[in-house]
Structure 1
Amino acid sequence: MKKARYIRQSTKNQTNLRQLAKAHPDEELFIDIISGSIPFDERPEGKRLIQAVETGQINYVSFHAIDRAGRNTINVLQTLQYFYDKGVVVKIDNLGLESMINNKANPVFNLITTILSELSSLEKTSLLERQAEGIQQAKLKGIYKGRAEGTFDTPEQTLQKHKRVVRAIKMNPTLSLRQIAKLASDSDYKVSANTVKKVKEIMLNSNLQVA
């Protein structure tokens, strides 16, 4: 087996990478430091892992949990199906399950991962809704301060964070800001017309590109 371990974390200080490498010496590490709202095949290390699978360098992939494999239920299942179609065994550590047994699909793996992926997606949606409600209540009470003073994203970071908006603008340049916001949003990623306006201004006033 040519093993790989895929890890996604939101910030650099969430784990000790040196210790992680030491704990898994027989696995090649693919570590994305990126928002979970980005689809698996659009993440830098996700792309690199797919390329390694395509060239036959990897045929066994481990994830700590099922939600690391994609941005929502559909994307997780697409990722798992891709690996299955390529004959790659997937292991989910916290379930103790592998996707194939004796080169055949493990029905228990398929059932449990589908259920857990759906639950994870629902949990993220609920969290975003509670967050939005909390912000609205704070605004009504006059205590919402928004982003802390002195913290901001660079134009490059803004475009990278809102790649779905960039894509929607490029594909539908004549739509209104509100229409583009609606087109780019889904249950896991909500964007406002103001954000679309900000992204559009950055795109118009610079030569920045998003991969």
Structure 2
Amino acid sequence: MRARYIRVSTGSQNTERQLQKNHPDEKIYIDIISGAIAFKERPKGQKLINDIESGLINYISVHSIDRLGRNLFDILATLELLYEKKITLEVDNLGLKSLVNNKPNSAFKLIISVMANIAEMERETLLERQKEGIALAKAKGVYKGRVKGSIETQQEVLLKYKEVVKYLKKGQSIRNTSKLCNVSVGTVQKVKRMVQL
């Protein structure tokens, strides 16, 4: 059976672009999760791996390689798993397949390694820009971080971190919630203690 794997970082993002080339017989797996989370740690990523191991899936399509992840090591580990299980991976925006006549496509391996590197660099650039923006805001005196030594009430903390509360209530792990909300693990633990999940 064919499958299509879709990933968006937030629920407000549209999946239509990733569904443009889907086939009617494809089983759809959609994760709403950061690309920084390892593929095998994502709810639908795990389900897809389980279905592969059960022999239900033999062909996977993705819109682009960064849907698998934004970490080179994780993308390559996922590709290795697919090679081991003899699963064909098709990347729509490149028009490439990982296997041709059940043999590894060497052009696919080379291009995917380059694309995975680019995806990882894009994420690092995004985080670097974010740090620069915070530094600039601090220099201008407009940074709205908490005043050092001040104490927030429980209500203020829960209001400030309502996204953290939302992901924890959905059953996300502390580490995943930290990455999804771009806050420290300590902050997520503090919020979790407050909501007593």
Classify the TM-score, shorter chain. Answer: 0.7 to 0.9
- 1:161, distance to aligned residue in structure 2 (A): 6.9
Q: Bigger CA drift: 154-163 or 131-140?
A: 154-163
- 1:35 partner letter: S
Measure how far apart 1:35 and its partner are: 1.4
* Counterpart-to-counterpart distance in 1, 2:177 and 2:89: 32
1:197 aligns with 2:181: no
* Rounded Cα–Cα distance in structure 2 between residues aligned with 1:162 and 1:88: 32
> Which position in structure 2 is the counterpart of 1:114?
113
- Assess if the C-alpha contact under 8 Å between 1:3 and 1:61 holds in 2: yes
- Opposite residue 201 of structure 1, the aligned amino acid is K
Distance 1:118 1:144, change over 3 A: same
> In 1, are the aligned partners of 2:21 and 2:92 still within 8 Å (CA)?
no
- Note the alpha carbon deviations across 1:105-133, whole angstroms, 9 max, x for none: 00000000001101110121011101111
> Which amino acid counterpart does residue 14 of structure 2 have in structure 1?
T
Report the Cα offset of residue 96 of structure 1.
Answer: 0.4
Q: Check if 1:163 corresponds to 2:175.
A: yes
1:141-160 matched pairs, under 5 angstroms: 141-145=140-144, 152-155=162-165, 157=167, 160=172
The answer (yes or no) to whether the contact 1:66–1:117 under 8 Å persists in 2 is yes
Superposed CA RMSD in Å reads 3.1
TM normalised by structure 1 equals 0.74
Question: How many Å separate the matches in 2 of 1:68 and 1:126?
Answer: 18
Compared CA separation, residues 129 and 76, structure 1 to 2 (3 A): same
Structural mapping, 1:45-194, within 5 Å:
45-145=44-144, 152-155=162-165, 157=167, 160=172, 162-163=174-175
Equivalent pairs counted in the alignment come to 181
Q: Which runs of 5+ in 1 are unaligned?
A: 167-187
Conservation of the 8 A alpha-carbon contact between 1:100 and 1:106: yes
| SS of equivalent to 1:4 | strand
> How far apart, in 2, do the equivalents of 1:200 and 1:151 lie?
12
**In percent, how many aligned pairs have the same letter?**
44
Mind listing any 5+ residue stretches in structure 2 that lack a counterpart?
Answer: 146-158
Q: Which residue of 2 aligns with 1:6?
A: 5
Q: Residue 37 of structure 1 aligns to a residue in which SS?
A: coil
Conserved? CA contact 1:21–1:29, under 8 Å: no
CA 1:87–1:62: 2 relative to 1, 3 Å: same
